[in-house]
């Protein structure tokens, strides 16, 4: 059992759902050879168990991440040990882009449940609005159809809630105008570099929780190359605020999002960071500092699949004159491999 335990509050939606304000991310990324860092899956298993011991109750995973078996094992183990009950946890997984046909959605969710050894999920998201097949993006499949597949899965009791990820403002408006069951959340990249004010405001006004991924933005050193915007971990502003609040730059980045009503799902395999990222509920960033932090907003995205940008359901602004060879190679593999070799 972890020595430190943190009580993580929830965000309560008007519709009654409650989602922890900080959850645990499980994407391991790709290695230098562009293979899934599957060799680190045992570390992820340990990390998820540790996170549950510390007090995390939301675990965010996906078919894509290839660690559903480890996540499921860790969850079952902690239930067996009596650390948590199944109903204390909020487990999210996602339907990857090659399963967008409505009839494939249920099969995808059932396969996730089987890999995890669980009876039900708490939330299932459409991972991206674009569908892909072996040939690349499949324009024939509209995300509204995919969402109908998710609504059917909900009716069957395979999951308690459904939602989306990487949906932009227009896609959210269209979805909300056409769905029978409202999405519980939209999981998007939002951080100090990318405030996404309009999208966040629309979601919040419509009782859809915004969940941030890549919450540290440009502060992660592996994402930093010349030209990457501020802040860094050791930028003078972050340094000053760290001193003032007695918190790390990462805690300030996460707290900033919390104070905007946005949940986060930081990933870490490092025990001290797992505790650090959950320990953001005992301080408050004052208004003047919030205004200072907001100045980092510059529309910068870390990795983003620009090679899909000419397709109808690509969610982001188009980048002009993009040279595909300048796109990070991991992303090129996503394009070329269509589905990142998901079985």
Ligand X SMILES: O=C1CO[C@H](CO)[C@@H](O)[C@@H]1O
Residues marked as binding?
127
Q: Which position among 50, 65, 143, 147 bears the catalytic label? A: 65
HSE toward the beta carbon, residue 305, CA cutoff 13 A: 23
Residue 166, phi then psi, degrees to nearest 5: 60, 30
Binding to ligand NDP (CB under 6 A) within 11-30 occurs at 25-27
CA dist 186 and 103 (Å) reads 22
**Residues 276-315 close enough to bind ligand NDP by CB under 6 A:** 276-277
The residue whose two tokens read 């040279």 is: 323
Give the footprint of ligand X on residues 34-63 (CB under 6 A): 62
CB 216 → ligand NDP: shortest distance, Å? 4
Instruction: Reduce the DSSP state of residue 12 to 3 states and report it.
Output: strand
> Which of the listed partners (ligand NDP, ligand X, none) does 212 bind, with a CB threshold of 5 to 8 Å by partner kind?
none
Judged by CB under 6 A, the stretch of 150-158, 173-181, 207-215, 290-298 that binds ligand NDP is 207-215
Q: Determine the Cα–Cα distance for residues 19 and 122; give it in Å rounded to an integer.
A: 10
65 is catalytic: yes
The residue within the footprint of ligand X, chosen from 24, 27, 90, 202 (CB under 6 A), is 27
Tell how many helices (H) and how many strands (E) occur in the chain: 11, 12
- For ligand NDP, what does the binding mask look like between residues 154 and 193, x meaning CB under 6 A? -----------xx--------------------x------
Grouping H, G, I as helix, E, B as strand and the rest as coil, residue 133 is strand
Q: Which is nearer to ligand X, 235 or 339 (CB)?
A: 339
Which stretch in 109-117, 169-177, 270-278, 323-331 sits in contact with ligand NDP by CB under 6 A? 270-278
Q: Does 267 bind ligand NDP (CB under 6 A)?
A: yes
Q: Residue 215's binding partner, choosing from ligand NDP, ligand X, none, with beta-carbon cut-off 5 to 8 A by kind? A: ligand NDP
Residues flagged as binding site for substrate: 127
Provide the H-helix boundaries in the chain.
Answer: 41-54, 68-80, 102-116, 143-155, 169-178, 197-205, 236-245, 249-259, 271-278, 287-294, 329-336
Site string for ligand X, 84-123 (x = CB under 6 A): ----------------------------------------
- Pair of tokens at residue 266: 């930081």
Q: How far apart are CA 115 and CA 109, in angstroms?
A: 10
Distance CA 297, CA 83 (A): 40
127-146: contacts with ligand X (CB under 6 A): 127
Q: Which is nearer to ligand X, 184 or 302 (CB)?
A: 302
Shortest Cβ distance from residue 228 to ligand X (Å)?
15
Closest residue to ligand NDP: CB criterion: 25
DSSP codes of every residue in 186-202:
EEEE-BTTB--HHHHHH
Nearer to ligand X, 62 or 211 (CB): 62
Closer residue to ligand NDP in complex, CB, 159/166 = 166
Two structure tokens written together for 285: 């960033």
Q: How far is the CB of 339 from ligand X (least distance, A)?
A: 12
Residue 217 gets which letter from DSSP?
G
* Of 145, 151, 230, 303, the one binding ligand X by CB under 6 A: 303
Number of C-alpha atoms within 13 angstroms, CB side, residue 266?
30
Cα separation, 217 vs 197, in Å, equals: 16
Residues near ligand X (CB under 6 A): 27, 62, 64, 127, 303
Give me the active site residues, please: 65
């Amino acid at each position: 059992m972890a020595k430190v335990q943190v009580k993580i509050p929830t965000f309560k939606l008007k519709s009654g759902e409650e989602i922890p304000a900080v959850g645990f991310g499980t994407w391991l990324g790709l290695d230098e050879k562009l293979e899934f860092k599957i060799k680190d899956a045992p570390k992820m298993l340990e990390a998820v168990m540790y996170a549950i011991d510390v007090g995390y109750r939301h675990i965010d995973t996906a078919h894509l991440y290839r660690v559903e078996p480890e996540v499921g094992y860790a969850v079952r183990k902690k239930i067996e040990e009596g650390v948590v009950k199944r109903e204390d946890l909020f487990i999210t997984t996602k339907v990857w882009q090659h399963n967008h046909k409505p009839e494939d959605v249920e099969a995808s969710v059932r396969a996730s449940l089987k890999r995890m050894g669980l009876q039900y999920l708490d939330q299932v998201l459409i991972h991206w609005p674009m569908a892909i097949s072996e040939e690349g993006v499949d324009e024939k499949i509209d995300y509204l159809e995919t969402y109908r597949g998710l609504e059917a899965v909900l009716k069957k009791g395979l999951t308690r809630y459904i939602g989306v990820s990487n949906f932009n403002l227009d896609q959210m408006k269209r979805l909300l105008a056409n769905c029978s069951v409202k999405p519980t959340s939209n999981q998007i990249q939002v951080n100090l570099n990318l405030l996404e004010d309009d999208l966040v405001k629309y979601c919040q006004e419509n009782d859809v929780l915004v969940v941030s991924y890549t919450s540290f933005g440009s502060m992660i050193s592996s994402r930093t190359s010349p030209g990457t915007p501020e802040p860094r971990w050791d930028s003078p502003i972050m340094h000053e605020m760290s001193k003032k609040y007695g918190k790390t730059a990462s805690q300030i980045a996460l707290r900033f999002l919390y104070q905007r009503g946005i949940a986060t799902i930081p990933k870490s395999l490092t025990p001290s960071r797992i505790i650090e990222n959950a320990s953001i509920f005992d301080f408050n960033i004052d208004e003047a500092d919030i205004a200072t932090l907001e100045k980092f907003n510059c529309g910068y995205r870390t990795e983003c699949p620009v090679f899909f940008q000419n397709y109808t359901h690509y969610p982001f602004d188009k980048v002009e004159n993009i040279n595909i060879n300048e796109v990070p190679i991991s992303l090129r593999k996503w394009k070329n491999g269509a589905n990142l070799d998901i079985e």
